[in-house]
Structure 1
């Protein structure tokens, strides 16, 4: 099974995934990255952190080649005044 690496990027930092994890294909890795993004936003929201800063999970292969970026952030829902997680978007 291929090993994918999930690097977390904000405007000011890059946290590299040195261990990676195995997934059957890139689609499964993308789903895992989307779940990570949702968990990150929920944690930041729970701690009262900055919600409108874009973040991404950058998926690479074992050679370091960029395969996919999952970009995510939270913003207010229309008609609601609070910041709530929105579904992650992917850039292929």
Structure 2
């Protein structure tokens, strides 16, 4: 099974995934990156952090070749009476 690496990038930092993890396909790795993005946004929202800074998970292979970028950020909250922000995950 191929090993994929999930590097987390913000405007000011790159946190490299040194261990990686095995996934059956790039599509499975893409879904993992989208879930990671969702978890990151939930954590930042819970801590009162900066919500509109773009972030990405950069998926690479073992040789370091870029395979896919999963870009995410928190969208605007729509005032419908709920206190839950809308958190889109955009996959590119």
* TM-score above 0.5, yes or no: yes
Cα deviation code 1:21-63 (max 9, x no counterpart): 0000000000000000000000000000000000000000000
Structure 2 partner of 1:6: 6
Structure 1 residue 80: Cα displacement = 4.9
Q: How many residues align?
A: 91
Q: Could you tell me how far apart the structure 2 residues matched to 1:83 and 1:29 are?
A: 28
Asked whether the 8 Å contact 1:5–1:60 carries over to 2, the reply is yes
Which structure has the highest strand share of the two?
Answer: 1
1:84 is aligned to 2:85: yes
Structure 2 partner of 1:24: 24
Task: Please give the root-mean-square deviation of Cα atoms over the aligned residues, in Å.
Answer: 1.6
